[in-house]
Amino acid sequence: MSKKPIILGIESSCDETAVALISENKEGRPEILSNIVSSQVDIHKEFGGVVPELAARSHIEKIDLIAKKALDESGINLNDVDAVATTAGPGLIVCLSVGLNFGKAIAASIKKPFIAVNHLEGHALSPKLNSKVKYPYLLLLISGGHTQFLSVEGLGKYKRLGTTIDDAAGEAFDKTAKLLGIEFPGGPQIEVLAKKGDPTKFDLPKPIINKGGCNLSFAGLKTAILRITKNIKNEKDKYDLAASFQKTMEEILYKKSKVAFHKFNNIHLDKDKTFVVAGGVAANKKIREILTKLCEEENFEAIFPPINLCGDNAAMIALTGLEKFKQNQFDDLDFPAKPRWQLDESAAFLKGAGIKI
């Protein structure tokens, strides 16, 4: 029986230092051998957001230790690794460079192929870690730096159907949390506070909700939150605003996803209908519920990555590396960091369409 390929994945695009090893089981399904993620929350908390220079310094200090821990946990000898896959973009260039150079050095030292991975493609393929997903499928990529709908035609084949024209949904969550006095990273805590509030208390704007196809906009919503927080007088108001914001985000994503469904259907008339939601905001349980409900109404199958694999991690980078390895898609060691690397490179550049900051 031939040896299953083993891929070492490295992720350092923002404020997580992550290393993972992945292979395949007897059925040919991806198998995570180890997946180590080291967060920098404590470093950036006092600044209320990620400081690129501090993030890069932390990557430099930790990356070799994280790699050793991933290898130890997997029980894999470094020389048994078949390829090294590393995030090359999009992201903070000072952070990307740390992982990219580290990955290249390992690949060169063990004389194995190097694979440059688009961080967004890692998110796009991440549901394959726990689900059987067939091409083509509709993807909602939703995180702190990117919110977009894509038709995923195959490995490396993406057609953008819609994107945020300004800010990302995850950024709106984080900004709202900061304005409510929640410590960084506060976005995930919005859902917790929302359970205590009245979602009808504040009537918040839903920019371009009835126009622009499945493009989205969140800048106006953020501005409204800023204005309202100046007049918050007590904890009840804080809970009500969190609940109103959560409800507004659910309504925006429900409506825009429905438009994207129809657009996807027009492209793929006779194909199975699958809707994949990936990225950090995909961990929001209420958003999962509302989008699952929409899928039931529109006859789509809803697929989400496991909660622990929604955020930045190296397992999804290793998985993408595995998919590319099987198709002999390798890269040279001079492959550059690409801080603005879109999945659909033929699409017009927009702020929310591929930049991670």
316 found inside a domain? yes
> Interhelix angle for 285-298 vs 235-267, to 10°?
30
354 found inside a domain? no
The H-or-E segment that residue 157 falls in is strand 157-163
CATH number at residue 228: 3.30.420.40
160 found inside a domain? yes
In angstroms, the CA 101 to CA 64 distance is: 12
Q: What are the phi and psi torsion angles at 317 (to 5°)?
A: -75, -45
Do 76 and 179 have their domain in common?
no
Report the pLDDT value the prediction gives residue 356, as an integer from 0 to 100: 40
Residues in the chain: 357
Do 276 and 152 have their domain in common?
yes
Give the end of a domain, one of 282, 304, 326.
304
Dihedral over Cα of 180, 184, 189, 190: its sign: positive
Q: Could you tell me the maximum CA-CA distance found in the chain, to the nearest angstrom?
A: 68
Name the token pair of 306. 């496991």
Closest residue by Cα to residue 262 from 169, 161, 163, 158: 161
Q: How many domains does the chain have?
A: 2
Do 141 and 204 have their domain in common?
yes
> Interhelix angle for 169-179 vs 219-229, to 10°?
10
What one-character DSSP code corresponds to residue 304?
A: -
Report the pLDDT value the prediction gives residue 350, as an integer from 0 to 100: 65
Do 123 and 192 have their domain in common?
no
Q: What are the phi and psi torsion angles at 281 (to 5°)?
A: -70, -15
Is 278 in contact with 127 (CB distance < 8 Å)? Answer: yes
Do 256 and 184 have their domain in common?
yes
Do 203 and 254 have their domain in common?
yes
Do 282 and 238 have their domain in common?
yes
Would you tell me how many other CB atoms lie within 10 Å of the CB of residue 33? 19
39 found inside a domain? yes
Do 69 and 183 have their domain in common?
no
In angstroms, the CA 183 to CA 160 distance is: 34
What one-character DSSP code corresponds to residue 340?
A: B
In angstroms, the CA 178 to CA 198 distance is: 20
Do 147 and 292 have their domain in common?
yes
345 found inside a domain? no
To the nearest 10°, the Cα dihedral for 258, 260, 263, 265?
-70
Q: Which residue has the tokens 């694999």?
A: 309
Report the pLDDT value the prediction gives residue 269, as an integer from 0 to 100: 83
Q: Which residue has the tokens 């430099």?
A: 60
Do 182 and 249 have their domain in common?
yes
Amino acid identity at 36: I
145 found inside a domain? yes
CA distances in angstroms from 82 to 5, 140, 234, 325, 337, listed in the order given: 6, 31, 57, 9, 22
Report the pLDDT value the prediction gives residue 357, as an integer from 0 to 100: 35
> Interhelix angle for 52-74 vs 93-110, to 10°?
30
Report the pLDDT value the prediction gives residue 1, as an integer from 0 to 100: 45
Do 197 and 271 have their domain in common?
yes
105 found inside a domain? yes
Do 235 and 254 have their domain in common?
yes
Which residues, in sequence order, are CB contacts of 13 under 8 Å at separation 6+?
87, 89, 90, 91, 92, 95, 96, 99, 119, 312, 356
Name the token pair of 72. 């130890």
Report the pLDDT value the prediction gives residue 351, as an integer from 0 to 100: 58
pLDDT one digit per residue (tens) for the chain, 357 residues: 468 999 999 999 998 999 999 999 988 899 999 999 998 878 887 787 889 899 999 999 999 999 999 999 999 999 999 999 999 999 999 999 999 999 999 999 999 999 999 999 999 999 999 999 999 999 999 988 899 999 999 999 999 999 999 999 999 999 999 999 988 778 889 999 999 999 999 999 999 999 999 999 999 999 999 999 999 989 999 999 999 999 999 999 999 999 999 999 999 987 789 999 999 999 999 999 999 999 999 999 999 999 999 999 999 999 999 999 999 999 999 999 999 999 998 887 665 544 443
What one-character DSSP code corresponds to residue 184?
A: S
CA distances in angstroms from 205 to 32, 115, 182, 232, 275, listed in the order given: 42, 43, 22, 18, 26
Residues spanned by the domain of 237: 134-304
**Cβ burial, residue 348 (10 Å; 0-12/13-18/19+):** exposed
CA distances in angstroms from 304 to 58, 91, 126, 315, listed in the order given: 30, 23, 9, 15
106 found inside a domain? yes
